[in-house]
């Protein structure tokens, strides 16, 4: 396989580990934990894995030479650093005992159920160290939730003499990891399950998880591109650029990119929901800024739009809720109908209020909302062209204002969607180190007999030496939420907090950014050079840690 010059040099990078993981390791246990909400329900559903203590690793005098084979699964969307979790896991598993083996299940959780796997060896891992992507073993979105899947998985686990499975995934995948851990514990199968916090979306975080891996690299990649667009925009001074940014629900990615690049406008879905704004309110806000800048002779600008926006506009959110319930109850009759019949079916079954909202949406958007949920029941928002929908509505509003004599200017729009191009970028130094440490922590949790835990690394705004590694019981992050029409135990998603420092920092400056041109050009991720450039963390993380 031919590899790039960067890949060749980068393969030699040795990720840095927290002090506690550099040699022999022992475990310090904290107090018993509680779930974030619905404690009685969660306790009842997870009697074997509820209430366990937080765990922190400390340097020890003598090594634990645990004999253990481990299986690893990459689950859900790609995030930069996944290969380094595997590298950290592999190195630690072999450090514990060179006879230990690591198996990678192929193409996501489905690989466990279908018994598709490879053994990960020093040789085949070498080409993937410090690289982006999940292509070493592939990923998938199969939802592990049924007993027959757990039992099928057990067959291969037994055959390969695997002691534990590590699931590298987002909130949904880690919820499933917890269900699997509980099932194997209840059956006393002696198989442990450990999770690792992955997702570029940045929404798997809480008091214990400072950030999910991949967020750092993905937002730096998007910010580089946004900065380049801003410079182009400020050079030609003739376009308004509408940039949709990935991040299924939460607006963390958009907010972080705004903090890095200072665009003229950045929409934050959580704020729009809190203020109960309509699509028209959003359009009037953007058109107002366009008109203001036009009056100053500036017929250009940059607008950032989080991809999850549509679900957070309250009227559309209510419509989606009802559609979810409708599809959960009648999905089978509905799915076999043709396109027109499906629209008719929906219009006949929706309540009057939601029917009215559905009818006002462009047909393509309405169709996307009523179709194609992913296996976890999510609307596939990355397929909805929100950036075009909004810019077209802004153009119409400006035409109307022109006729009314309220606006004078030229409006020409360009559209971009930054999503997939950030998910497999070569991990930044932060993600390379963070992921390697997460993999090492996962191995230590297994060696110390833990199950139903997620590997964690904290104090990440300090130098890597001072990072603190350990584990958090997954049940601690859970609450009950409605999914596909039923109440289910799930990890609570972290949305942008409107009283948090990152949002407040953005909100304090956005009027200035809208009126003036304050663009910042972050440039590409640097892997070597001054530490102030190549080891910087995200602004979100810094602002959250200094609150
Ligand atoms: P995860 O939550 O699995 O990490 O995936 C995140 C994400 O990249 C979202 O930002 C995006 O909406 C979605 O995946 C796209 O999914 P797909 O890769 O299936 O198109």
pLDDT of residue 547: 61
Residue 136 CA to ligand 1 center (angstroms) comes to 19
> For residue range 19-42, what is the model confidence (pLDDT) as tens digits?
999 999 999 999 999 999 999 999
Question: Pocket around ligand 1: residues whose beta carbon is below 6 Å from it?
Answer: 76-77, 79, 170, 199-201, 246-248, 307, 381-382, 423
Ligand-binding annotation for 308, yes or no, is no
Confidence of residue 274 (pLDDT cuts 50, 70, 90): very high
Residue nearest atom 16 of ligand 1, based on CA coordinates? 77
* pTM of the complete model beyond 0.90: yes
> For residue range 92-141, what is the model confidence (pLDDT) as tens digits?
999 999 999 999 999 999 999 999 999 999 999 999 999 999 999 999 99
Rounded mean pLDDT, 335-340: 80
CA–CA separation, 547 and 446 (whole Å): 34
- When mean pLDDT is compared across 151-155, 339-343, 437-441, the lowest value belongs to 339-343
pLDDT exceeding 90 applies to what percent of the chain?
81
Backbone angles phi, psi at 117, to 5 degrees: -155, 165
Q: Are the C-beta atoms of 63 and 56 separated by less than 8 Å?
A: no
Ligand-binding annotation for 422, yes or no, is yes
Share the mean pLDDT of the chain: 93
Confidence of residue 334 (pLDDT cuts 50, 70, 90): confident
Ligand-binding annotation for 239, yes or no, is yes
CA–CA separation, 537 and 397 (whole Å): 40
Residue 483 CA to ligand 1 center (angstroms) comes to 18
Rounded mean pLDDT, 480-499: 91
Per-residue pLDDT at 297 exceeds 70: yes
Residue 471: strand pairing partners: 55, 455
CA–CA separation, 201 and 216 (whole Å): 10
Q: Report CA dihedral (446, 447, 450, 452) to the nearest 10 degrees.
A: 0
The pair of three-digit structure tokens given for residue 242, joined into one six-digit string: 């509408």
Q: Are the C-beta atoms of 48 and 186 separated by less than 8 Å?
A: yes
CA–CA separation, 96 and 64 (whole Å): 7
Q: Pick the atom of ligand 1 nearest to 374's CA.
A: 19
Question: In 3-state terms, what secondary structure has residue 88?
Answer: helix
DSSP string for 243-295: EEE--SS--HHHHHHHHHH--SEE--HHHHHHTT--HHHHHHHHHHHHHHHHH
pLDDT of residue 273: 95
Residue 201 annotated in active site: yes
Nearby residues of 3 by Cβ (< 8 Å), 6 or more positions away: 11, 127
pLDDT of residue 39: 96
Q: Which of 139, 171, 211, 248 maximizes ligand 1 atoms within 8 Å of its Cβ, making it the mutation to test the pocket?
A: 248
Q: Which of 73, 75, 76, 222 maximizes ligand 1 atoms within 8 Å of its Cβ, making it the mutation to test the pocket?
A: 76
Per-residue pLDDT at 372 exceeds 90: no
Residue 284 CA to ligand 1 center (angstroms) comes to 30
Q: Which residue has the higher pLDDT, 237 or 2?
A: 237
Confidence of residue 63 (pLDDT cuts 50, 70, 90): confident
CA–CA separation, 490 and 477 (whole Å): 8
Confidence of residue 221 (pLDDT cuts 50, 70, 90): very high
CB atoms within 10 A of CB 513: 22
Ligand-binding annotation for 199, yes or no, is yes
Residue nearest atom 11 of ligand 1, based on CA coordinates? 248
Residue 543: closest CA among 170, 208, 217, 260: 260
Residue 268 CA to ligand 1 center (angstroms) comes to 19
pLDDT of residue 482: 85
Q: Report CA dihedral (444, 448, 451, 453) to the nearest 10 degrees.
A: -50
Residue 436: closest CA among 69, 17, 13: 17
DSSP string for 448-464: TT--SEEEEEE-TTS-G
Distances (CA, A) of 506 to 30, 503, 514: 36, 5, 12
Residue 24 CA to ligand 1 center (angstroms) comes to 37
Q: What is the CA radius of gyration of the chain?
A: 24
Ligand-binding annotation for 247, yes or no, is yes
Rounded mean pLDDT, 6-30: 93
Residue 502: closest CA among 266, 199, 255, 219: 255
Nearby residues of 423 by Cβ (< 8 Å), 6 or more positions away: 77, 78, 79, 80, 132, 200, 214, 218, 246
Burial class (CB in 10 A: 0-12, 13-18, 19+), 484: middle
pLDDT of residue 435: 98
Angle value at C-alpha 534, between 536 and 77, nearest 5 degrees: 75
Q: Pick the atom of ligand 1 nearest to 214's CA.
A: 4
Length in residues, the chain: 547
Q: Pick the atom of ligand 1 nearest to 246's CA.
A: 10
pLDDT of residue 494: 96
Choose the catalytic residue: 41, 91, 172, 201.
201
Rounded mean pLDDT, 231-245: 97
Residue 150: closest CA among 181, 175, 104: 181
Q: Pick the atom of ligand 1 nearest to 378's CA.
A: 12
Q: Which residue has the higher pLDDT, 525 or 364?
A: 525
Residue nearest atom 18 of ligand 1, based on CA coordinates? 77
pLDDT of residue 360: 80
Question: In 3-state terms, what secondary structure has residue 6?
Answer: helix
Handedness of CA 39, 44, 45, 46 (dihedral sign): positive
The pair of three-digit structure tokens given for residue 389, joined into one six-digit string: 């929908």
Where do the domains of the chain lie, and which CATH numbers do they carry? 64-200+429-465 (3.40.50.450), 217-307+385-418+493-546 (3.40.50.460), 311-383 (1.10.10.480)
Q: At what angle do helices 252-261 and 215-236 cross, to 10 degrees?
A: 50
Rounded mean pLDDT, 431-436: 98
Confidence of residue 370 (pLDDT cuts 50, 70, 90): confident
Residue 422 CA to ligand 1 center (angstroms) comes to 11
CA–CA separation, 19 and 466 (whole Å): 7
SS (H, E, C) 98-143: CCCCEEEECCCCHHHHCCCEEEECHHHHHCCCCCCCCCCCCCECCC
> For residue range 343-369, what is the model confidence (pLDDT) as tens digits?
888 888 889 988 988 888 877 778 878
The DSSP output letter for 381 is G
Ligand-binding annotation for 373, yes or no, is no
Residue nearest atom 20 of ligand 1, based on CA coordinates? 382
Q: At what angle do helices 279-295 and 501-515 cross, to 10 degrees?
A: 40
> For residue range 64-84, what is the model confidence (pLDDT) as tens digits?
888 999 999 999 999 999 999
Residue 447: closest CA among 98, 163, 232: 163
CA–CA separation, 223 and 524 (whole Å): 8
Residue 213 CA to ligand 1 center (angstroms) comes to 14
How many Å separate Cα 195 from the centre of its chain?
Answer: 14
Q: Complex ipTM, two decimals?
A: 0.97
Q: Are the C-beta atoms of 452 and 47 separated by less than 8 Å?
A: no
Per-residue pLDDT at 184 exceeds 90: yes
Q: Pick the atom of ligand 1 nearest to 76's CA.
A: 3
């Amino acid at each position: 396989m031919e590899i790039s010059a960067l890949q060749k040099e980068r393969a030699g990078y040795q990720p840095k580990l927290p002090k506690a993981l550099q040699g022999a390791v022992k475990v310090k246990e904290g107090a018993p934990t509680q779930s974030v909400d619905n404690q009685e329900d969660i306790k009842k559903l997870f009697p074997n894995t509820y209430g366990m203590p937080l765990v922190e690793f400390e340097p020890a005098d003598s090594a634990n030479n645990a004999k253990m084979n481990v299986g690893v699964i990459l689950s859900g969307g790609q995030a930069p650093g996944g290969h380094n979790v595997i590298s950290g896991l592999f190195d630690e598993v072999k450090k514990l005992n060179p006879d230990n083996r690591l198996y990678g299940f192929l193409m996501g959780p489905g690989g466990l159920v279908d018994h598709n796997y490879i053994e990960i060896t020093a040789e085949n891992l070498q080409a993937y160290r410090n690289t982006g992507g999940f292509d070493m073993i592939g990923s998938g979105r199969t939802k592990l939730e049924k007993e027959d899947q757990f039992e099928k998985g057990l067959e291969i686990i037994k055959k390969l003499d695997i002691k534990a499975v590590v699931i590298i995934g987002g909130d949904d995948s880690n919820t499933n990891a917890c269900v699997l851990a509980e099932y194997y514990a209840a059956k006393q199968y002696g198989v442990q399950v450990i999770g690792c916090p992955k997702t570029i979306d940045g929404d798997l975080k809480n008091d214990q998880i400072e950030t999910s891996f991949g967020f750092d690299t993905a937002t730096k990649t998007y910010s580089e591109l946004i900065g380049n667009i801003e410079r182009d925009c400020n050079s030609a001074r003739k376009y308004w650029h509408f940039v949709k940014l990935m991040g299924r629900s939460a607006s963390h990615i958009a907010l972080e990119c705004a903090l890095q690049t200072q665009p003229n406008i950045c929409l934050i879905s959580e704020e729009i929901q809190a203020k109960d704004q309509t699509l028209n309110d959003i359009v009037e806000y953007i058109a107002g800024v366009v008109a203001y800048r036009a009056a100053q002779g500036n017929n250009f600008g940059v607008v950032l739009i989080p991809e999850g926006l549509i679900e957070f506009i309250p009227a559309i959110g209510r419509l989606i809720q009802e559609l979810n319930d409708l599809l959960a109850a009648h999905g089978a009759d509905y799915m076999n109908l043709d396109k027109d019949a499906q629209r008719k079916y929906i219009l006949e079954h929706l309540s009057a209020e939601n029917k009215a909202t559905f009818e006002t949406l462009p047909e393509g958007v309405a169709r996307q909302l009523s179709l194609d949920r992913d296996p976890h029941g999510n609307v596939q928002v990355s397929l909805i062209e929100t950036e075009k929908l909004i810019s077209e509505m802004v153009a119409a509003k400006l035409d109307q204002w022109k006729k009314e004599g309220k606006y004078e200017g030229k409006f020409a729009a360009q559209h971009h969607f930054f999503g997939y191009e950030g998910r497999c970028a070569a991990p930044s130094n932060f993600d390379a180190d963070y992921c390697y440490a997460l993999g090492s922590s996962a191995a230590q949790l297994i060696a110390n007999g833990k199950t139903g835990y997620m590997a964690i690394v904290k104090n990440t705004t300090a130098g890597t030496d001072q990072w603190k590694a350990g584990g958090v019981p997954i049940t601690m992050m859970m609450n009950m939420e409605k999914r596909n029409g039923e109440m289910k135990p799930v990890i609570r998603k972290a949305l942008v907090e409107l009283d948090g420092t990152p949002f407040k920092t953005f909100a304090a400056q956005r009027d200035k950014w809208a009126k003036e041109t304050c663009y910042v050009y972050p440039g590409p991720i640097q892997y070597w050079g001054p530490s102030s450039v190549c080891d910087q963390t995200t602004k979100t993380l810094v602002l959250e840690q200094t609150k």
